[in-house]
Structure 1
Amino acid sequence: MKQLVLKAILLGTLGITATPAFAVRWFEVELIAFSQKEGAEIREDFSIETGPIPREKRLDLLTKGYNNVGHQACLSGDVKYDPRSVTERFTRQQSSWYCDDNINYVERYEKLPVIPVSEPLDHMQSMYLLAPEQLRFNAIRNKLERQGKNPILHTGWRFPDQSKKRAPNVVVYGGMKFEQPASYKYVEGGQNDSFISLLSSAPQRAIKTQGEDLWELDGTIKIHIRHYLYVTSNFDYRYLTDEGELESARMSQFTRVYSGDIHYLDHPKMGIIFQIRKFKH
């Protein structure tokens, strides 16, 4: 009798420990971000200063996808992705080159590819990017292009059922690259034993500093679940004014959504169409 009780407890314990791996629901999200067609009727002022988008708990799935596009282009012989130095290109014009898949191709882009590339995966172990052949919005993207709207990014990823506290802020960026406005910091000019330096403070010199790349679209999306699906999005859309100045328009939204429905986040400068679908449940 005692052995039967122990066996029942053991089986119950194994059942409990095995359940979470199969009980967690998984979803996939697909989105298209695009710039709105320019129109004279837009009269909103987007020059108001906004604070930086929060940077905590970020998950970047796109950079590897963009690098994969560059690596494939390099393998196909696209001269824009020739990894050789200028000297090597000049002296060894007919030679082949080696395409390193660890190269940061993103820094070479003036405009990021619309569709980042990933191998098609089908697991439920960790969050991952959807492969191009797993996307379903190609007809929608083509329709946007026919309407004169400019798709910036078409991608998606798979993710587990997560609470607001545990869900990451997935990094979303794309489009044109803009130069970061130059800034300067002042440092000591070095040792100076002249008579003048004894009468005044040490001379200083200005050093130009360069920040990270600025992309046309830059922001994050967090998707968490509490009975319903909730989407928290924060984006900066950057553009050049008629005077050639770089400005940024902020779009921040918190939305409750239903799986399977197609949703639209609207802004005078940009828009996002997205859908969250159940995955294997």
Structure 2
Amino acid sequence: MKPVTDTISVLLKSMLAGLTLTFSCYAIASNTAAERWFEIELIVFTPTTGNDLKEQFDGQVTPIRLSNSFDLVTSHYQPDISSLLATLAPCNLPSETATDRLAVAVQNWQQWQPPFSPIFCLSERQPPSWQRVSLFPEYLVNSQLPMPDSLPVQLAAKSDRHQPVPYLAPRSAFALSDLASKISRQPNQTLLLHTVWRQAPVTERLAVPSRWFGGTNYSELTDYWGQDRTQAATDNAAATATALTILDNEQQDDVFSAIDTLLDQLNAAGKLEALPDQRQQLPLSGDNLSNLPDRVWQLDGLFKLHLDHYLFVNTDFNLRRFSAAGLQSINVKQSRRVISGELHYLDHPYLGIILQIRRFQPPEQEAEAK
């Protein structure tokens, strides 16, 4: 009986190991389902530009860097090229040895012989799929395409497909549409953004803010620091015309004398002096321009949601508005502890934010094989 007992013991150990492995795989597979998901509805509005309030704010532009944020707006208006990149074959990278380098050279020469090899390829080795899992979305978009002159107020996804990363919700998820309509009907209010997205919040240390922008696109009128692009183009054209006139009329025998004369004229006209007002603000030397938005929107900023026993919201927005002094930038930064299901209002003289965070139950994953 002892051999039979040993056999049963081995079988039981094997079954327990199999069950442990099965439960471990199930725990990993259902990790996403165990997360606490929330649905965030955001309404942003501002008073009409004709109303000048008594409150005075610093006119300098406060830079909001976007290096550590995810963007759900750009991916909605710009095409996602991830599927196109997936079809490209990896390029033949050069090897270390002389024999391999010779083989690569021959292969590159053969690419120009029929049949031709693909012209486009991926020059960097792509990590395996299990290494590309991220808590936040990573969209590969063609950001060089032109954006509209103004964005629609309501931003919603076209489908209700659940994703393991933060994503836009469809129009059916909008619960505050009546409130947004009432705000838009007010004669002294302008609705800038109304959207709903879903995400599973993490702790403040791991939280990544989301970027949101909307309203009018001021990129052709001003740069990020508020400098007037149209006036600068006019000044450059006038200076060029003056220089050409001087040279064409041969008023100066020497080219360098003509340049000195032109500089004296610009200096006398005050064109070479940096004006101190907000419309001529220059970036500080410590500002990293690569982390700033490449377009100037009426509303642009960050929204961070994190969960540390309670839900917390941090907002940092820049609002561009026209006043008697021209186009000014107002920075609105607020922090608030919120309760899910309640309606919260973040008040500011120039920017109103209505917020509601609701619990969201992700749909159960369908069985792979029925």
Q: What TM-score results when the alignment is normalised by the length of structure 2?
A: 0.55
Structure 2 residue aligned with 1:83: none
Equivalent in 203, 206, 215 of residue 163 of structure 1: 203
Query: 2:62 touches 2:318 (CA, 8 Å); kept in 1?
Result: no
- Distance in 2 between residues matched to 1:232 and 1:274, nearest whole Å: 12
1:73-98 deviations in whole A, cap 9, x for unaligned?
A: xxxxxxxxxxxxxxxxxxxxxxxxxx
Shift of 1:252: 0.7
Quote the residue 1:123 is aligned against. 162
Query: Please, which of 317, 332, 335 is the counterpart of residue 251 of structure 1?
Result: 332
Three-state SS of the structure 1 residue aligned to 2:155 is coil
Over 3 Å counting, the alpha-carbon distance change for 1:4 and 1:277 in structure 2 is same
Q: Distance in 2 between matches of 1:248 and 1:106?
A: 26
Instruction: Check the 8 A contact 1:35/1:270 in 2, yes or no.
Output: yes
Aligned with 1:219 (options 285, 292, 301): 301
In structure 1, the residue matched to 2:19 is 11
3-state SS, counterpart of residue 107 of structure 1: coil
> 1:32 Cα deviation (Å)?
0.8
Gaps of at least 5 residues in structure 1 are 69-101, 185-194, 198-210
* More helix by percentage: 2
Could you tell me how far 1:29 is from its partner in structure 2? 0.4
Higher CA-based Rg = 2
Between 247-256 and 32-41, the greater mean CA deviation after superposition: 32-41
Residue matched to 1:144: 183
Is this contact kept in 2: 1:25–1:161, CA < 8 A?
Answer: yes
* Alpha carbons 1:171, 1:220 under 8 Å: kept: yes
Q: Report deviation, 1:144.
A: 0.7
- Structure in which a larger fraction of residues adopt strand: 1
Which amino acid is 2:215 matched to?
G
Normalised TM-score (structure 1): 0.71
State the alpha-carbon separation in 2 of the partners of residues 121 and 167 from structure 1.
24
Distance 1:114 1:196, change over 3 A: closer
Distance in 1 between the 2:319 and 2:255 partners? 50
Higher mean alpha-carbon deviation, 7-16 vs 103-112, is at 103-112
Write out the 4+ residue segments of structure 1 that deviate beyond 4 Å after TM superposition.
37-41, 102-106
Q: 2:38–2:360: 8 Å Cα contact kept in structure 1? A: yes
Distance, in Å, in 1 between the alignment partners of 2:57 and 2:205 is 31
CA deviation after TM superposition for structure 1 residue 4, in Å: 2.0
Aligned residue number for residue 57 of structure 2: 46
Match of 1:238 among 320, 323, 326: 320
Deviation at 1:37, TM superposition (A): 4.6
Change (3 A) 1:117 1:104: farther
Does the 8 Å CA contact 1:66/1:105 hold for their aligned counterparts? no
1:228 is matched with 310
Deviation of 1:21 (Å): 2.9
Q: Classify the secondary structure of the residue corresponding to 2:305.
A: strand
Aligned to 1:166, the other structure's residue is in SS state coil
- Give 1:103 shift: 8.1
Cα drift, residue 53 of structure 1: 1.3
Q: How far 1:40 sits from its partner (Å)?
A: 5.9
- Separation in 2 of the partners of 1:41 and 1:165? 39
Is the CA contact (8 Å cut-off) linking 1:167 and 1:223 kept in structure 2?
A: yes
Distance in 2, Cα, partners of 1:130 & 1:258: 20
CA distance in 1, matches of 2:255, 2:149: 48
Cα gap change, 1:103 to 1:53, in 2 (>3 Å)? closer
Comparing 270-279 and 120-129, the one that deviates more: 120-129
Q: Given the superposition, is the C-alpha separation of residues 177 and 112 from structure 1 closer, same or farther in structure 2, using an over 3 Å criterion?
A: same
Q: Is the 8 A contact 1:177 1:215 kept in 2?
A: yes
SS at structure 2 position matched to 1:65: helix
Residue 150 (structure 1) shift: 1.1
Distance across 2 between alignment mates of 1:164 and 1:62:
23
The reply to whether residue 279 of structure 1 matches residue 360 of structure 2 is yes
CA contact (8 A) 1:26 1:161 kept: yes
Q: Give aligned-pair identity as a percent.
A: 31
1:31 and 2:42 are equivalent in the alignment: yes
Quickly say closer, same or farther: Cα 1:14–1:175, change in 2 above 3 A: same
- Superimposed CA distance per residue, residues 8-33 of structure 1 (whole angstroms, 9 cap, x where no aligned partner): 24423432443223211211101111
**Offset of 1:228 from its aligned partner?**
1.2
RMSD of equivalent CA atoms: 3.4
Structure 1 residue 264: deviation in Å? 0.9
- Return 33-42 or 227-236, whichever deviates more: 33-42
Q: Distance in 2 between matches of 1:64 and 1:117?
A: 12
Q: Render the CA deviation track for 1:206-257: whole Å, top value 9, x for unaligned.
A: xxxxx832111000101111111111110011101123x1111111111111
Gaps of 5+ in 2: 1-8, 80-140, 234-253, 257-292, 363-370
